[in-house]
Structure 1
Amino acid sequence: MEVRELCGIIRDVGRSCEDGSVIVEFGRLFERYVTISNKVVGVLLRARRQGLVRFQGEMLWQGRDDQVVITLLP
């Protein structure tokens, strides 16, 4: 449920690409998602394990990784 909700938020706040993917910077996603849940990083990691999103690095940290691009895969 949380992973599905996260993907919906990425679609809402992100930018669509020609290949059908949607991209959003971690900082923007964190600002939006934190009002819903403080578990955004854990949910992102689960979504990546399920093959739904892609991003660089093993762990994302608010502030340090705000510019990291999260890609919601088509």
Structure 2
Amino acid sequence: MDDAHSHVSREVLELCLVIRQIGKSQEDGRAAVEFGRLFEHYVTISNKVVGVLLRARRQGLVHFEGEMLWQGRDDHVLIMLL
């Protein structure tokens, strides 16, 4: 169980690092990236980017509008680090 939790935590932290690296700094200083760009970049790392985003949101690490994100439809939704 601890190994699974540790793996999930690593994935969430890696996602936040990617957002920080490829995102743009907002007026409040927080990094943000559009979902389409994140998906294109992150899909080379993992095909479960949406699931990791949802976990990161539940942990209070990122914010985005909507319940679920879909490639194509939601490419311009802004993902913001908190």
What band does the TM-score fall into relative to the shorter chain?
A: over 0.9
RMSD: 0.7
Using CA pairs under 8 Å that are at least 6 residues apart, name the structure with larger relative contact order, 1 or 2: 1
Aligned-residue offset at 1:18? 3.4
AA partner of residue 61 (structure 1):
W
User: Aligned partner of 2:47: which letter?
Assistant: N
Structure 1 segments, 4+ long, off by >3 Å, are none
Q: Secondary structure at the match of 1:71?
A: strand
1:46 equivalent in structure 2: 55
Segments of 5+ residues of structure 1 without an aligned counterpart are none
- SS of the residue 1:70 aligns to: strand
Letter of the structure 2 residue corresponding to residue 35 of structure 1: T
- Report how far residue 19 of structure 1 moved: 2.0
